[in-house]
Structure 1
């Protein structure tokens, strides 16, 4: 199959989950392309096309890092492709990582992805679902209250302070649009810079004030779902515990968190059972759930990661599991000749 991965910028991409998936697709002899969100091309009266980067099929690549090095070197090749010549567009860019000078890039991947989807290319995750879930922390709030910590979303300082008082003067504050644990604060009665923190966050947009979960001090668990089910291979699950670094309450890898194994608990199963029907209905193929004990604290539908840490804690790579699932979707699409919608195909097992 011909598959293209959309990233923020090819030159600045790092060796994470997306590169692992690209490397696996290449190992399986697929035509693999990568593009930044600025590499779409549209002209009236002409088909939508993309300016892609790729590594020759004959190139000997031993690891995901070597694959990324080749993509970012003079060995990489460039090719303009008519969008409809692709079988799959996998949207993997993270809008929240775009800086203030690239606001144009935040929704470009999803917007052009919708166009390609309407032209018959299989788009993962479903581009219209991504449009709906673009602010994933707001999409998170559509899930049942029983599996979530109590929270409010506001830009009103008074409402935040009332929430603080009603939760025994302990809460977590974070921006509605953010990722990687940036600008996330644990606030308690000893916090002397609360006014400044609220002002800083409100300058960025809406603020989430969330109930503090004491179990969070032990870290959280990232559960990767595919087609609404936890990824499984050789009796092992795509689950990684993210342990907080010293003196830090955030467990994100970007904030010094480290990985460890975690079993699939009954609490996790319940959260997945409640969450999965919505994800399947919406066409969200590849999703990350962040869980603390019996509560879902975040959902990542835009660019879930963590697979690059699996091997270091003794888990299988899982990249082949993901690519095999995509291969089946392409097969279904070809067999049914466009009679199954992208939304249904995206989560079809």
Structure 2
């Protein structure tokens, strides 16, 4: 297959989940195309153009680090590929990670993805599902309340302070649109600058005030789902505990968290079972869940990560399973043509 990956910017990409999946696709003999989100080109009487770097099948790249180095080499030249030459578009750019001054980039991947989907390209995750879940922390609120901590979403200081009082003066504040643990605050009764923090964070946009879960002291668990199911290989599950470093309450890898193994509990199974129907219905193929004991605290649908950390706990990186699934979807698409919608194919096993 010919698969194109959409990134925020090739030049600034790091060696994470996207690169791990690209590397595996390349190693399995597929034609891998990689583009920055600014590389789309539309003309009314021709297919959408994709300004890509094509990784030649003959190039030997044994690790993700070597793949990324090859991709970012100044020797690599981009070329325009027409959308009708591509089998799969995998949208992996993360709008919440865009730098200031790049407002145009936030929805571009999804918008052009919708157009390519209409033209018959298999798009993952489904582009219309990504549009619906564009603010994934708001999409999170559509899930059953029994698996979520108490929370409010607002820009009103009085409402946040009232919620704080109800939570016995201990809550987590985070921006509605954000990732990687940036601008996330733990506000307890000892916080002297609560009003200033609320003012600062609400000036940036909507805020989530969320119930503090004491079990977060043990870190959270990143669970990776595919087609609404927990990814599994040889009895090992795509789950990893993110243990925060000393003096830190955020359990993001970017904030210094370390990886630990974790067992699948009945509470986690329940969260997956209650989340899956929504993900399958909406066409969300590859999704990350962040769980603390029996509560889901976040859902990641735009560009979920974590595959690049499984080697730290002696687990496989599960990229074979991701490529297997994409190959199967493309096979069904070729057999059934337009009888199966992109949304159905996106979560079909």
Same fold per superposition (TM over 0.5): yes
Contact 1:56 1:77 in 2 (8 A): no
SS of residue matched to 1:240: strand
Contact 2:31 2:56 in 1 (8 A): no
Question: Aligned Cα RMSD in Å?
Answer: 0.7
What's the counterpart of residue 103 of structure 2? 103
Compute the displacement of 1:55 (Å).
Answer: 2.1
What's the counterpart of residue 334 of structure 1? 334
User: What is the rounded CA distance, in whole Å, between the counterparts of 2:338 and 2:315 in structure 1?
Assistant: 37
What are the superposed Cα offsets for residues 218-267 of structure 1, whole Å, 9 maximum, x if unpaired?
Answer: 10000000000000001100000000111000000011111100111111
Higher mean alpha-carbon deviation, 139-148 vs 193-202, is at: 193-202
What's the counterpart of residue 30 of structure 1? 30
Compute the displacement of 1:158 (Å).
Answer: 0.3
Compute the displacement of 1:313 (Å).
Answer: 0.5
Contact 2:125 2:284 in 1 (8 A): yes
Contact 1:37 1:109 in 2 (8 A): yes
Unaligned runs of 5+ in 1: none
User: What is the rounded CA distance, in whole Å, between the counterparts of 1:13 and 1:169 in structure 2?
Assistant: 39
Compute the displacement of 1:46 (Å).
Answer: 2.1
Q: Which residues in structure 2 correspond to 1:242-321 (within 5 Å)?
A: 242-321=242-321
Contact 1:174 1:208 in 2 (8 A): yes
What's the counterpart of residue 47 of structure 1? 47
User: What is the rounded CA distance, in whole Å, between the counterparts of 1:292 and 1:200 in structure 2?
Assistant: 27
What's the counterpart of residue 9 of structure 1? 9
SS of residue matched to 1:137: helix
User: What is the rounded CA distance, in whole Å, between the counterparts of 1:332 and 1:79 in structure 2?
Assistant: 29
Q: Does 1:157 align with 2:157?
A: yes
Q: Does 1:206 align with 2:206?
A: yes
User: What is the rounded CA distance, in whole Å, between the counterparts of 1:36 and 1:138 in structure 2?
Assistant: 26
Unaligned runs of 5+ in 2: none
Contact 2:218 2:243 in 1 (8 A): yes
Q: Which residues in structure 2 correspond to 1:18-167 (within 5 Å)?
A: 18-167=18-167
Compute the displacement of 1:334 (Å).
Answer: 0.1
User: What is the rounded CA distance, in whole Å, between the counterparts of 2:45 and 2:61 in structure 1?
Assistant: 39
What's the counterpart of residue 322 of structure 2? 322
SS of residue matched to 1:19: helix
Compute the displacement of 1:54 (Å).
Answer: 2.2
Compute the displacement of 1:75 (Å).
Answer: 3.8
What are the superposed Cα offsets for residues 168-215 of structure 1, whole Å, 9 maximum, x if unpaired?
Answer: 000000000000000000000110111111111111100100000000
Contact 1:47 1:82 in 2 (8 A): yes
Aligned residues: 349
SS of residue matched to 1:123: strand
SS of residue matched to 2:210: strand
User: What is the rounded CA distance, in whole Å, between the counterparts of 2:292 and 2:197 in structure 1?
Assistant: 24
Contact 1:173 1:207 in 2 (8 A): yes
User: What is the rounded CA distance, in whole Å, between the counterparts of 1:200 and 1:63 in structure 2?
Assistant: 42
Contact 2:17 2:306 in 1 (8 A): yes
Contact 2:154 2:160 in 1 (8 A): yes
Compute the displacement of 1:25 (Å).
Answer: 0.3
What's the counterpart of residue 343 of structure 1? 343
SS of residue matched to 2:337: coil
Compute the displacement of 1:62 (Å).
Answer: 1.5
Query: TM-score of the superposition, structure 2-length normalised?
Result: 0.99
Query: TM-score of the superposition, structure 1-length normalised?
Result: 0.99
Compute the displacement of 1:339 (Å).
Answer: 1.1
Compute the displacement of 1:83 (Å).
Answer: 0.6
Contact 1:56 1:76 in 2 (8 A): no
